[in-house]
């Protein structure tokens, strides 16, 4: 009976986990909100900065949405108007 040995594998160092905000928890509904139409260059810059600062993109986006909705004058207002071309 031959014994087989596994080759030792190189242990890859784990990436440091970016902090995940527990302040914002998913709602009990399965709905998803998608972001689309963001210019590629802007998204790449956003992703790179979030990575450099070790912060989750979700956390940044949720903080922005929360602060925008709480701004003075936001009560009862509709979505921001688009500029006329």
pLDDT one-digit tens code per residue, 49-82? 999 999 999 899 999 989 999 987 766 555 555 5
Please tell me the predicted confidence (pLDDT) of residue 34. 65
The mean predicted confidence, pLDDT, of the chain is: 75
Confidence of residue 44 (pLDDT cuts 50, 70, 90): very high
What's this model's pTM, rounded to 2 decimal places? 0.50
For residue 75 the two structure tokens come to: 């009560």
């Amino acid at each position: 009976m031959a014994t087989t040995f596994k080759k030792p594998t190189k242990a890859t160092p784990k990436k440091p986990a970016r902090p995940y905000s527990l302040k914002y928890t998913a709602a009990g509904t399965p709905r998803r909100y998608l972001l689309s139409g963001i210019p590629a260059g802007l998204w790449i810059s956003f992703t790179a900065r979030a990575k450099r600062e070790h912060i989750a993109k979700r956390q940044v986006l949720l903080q922005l949405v929360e602060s925008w909705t709480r701004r003075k004058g936001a009560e009862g207002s509709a979505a921001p108007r688009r500029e006329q071309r």
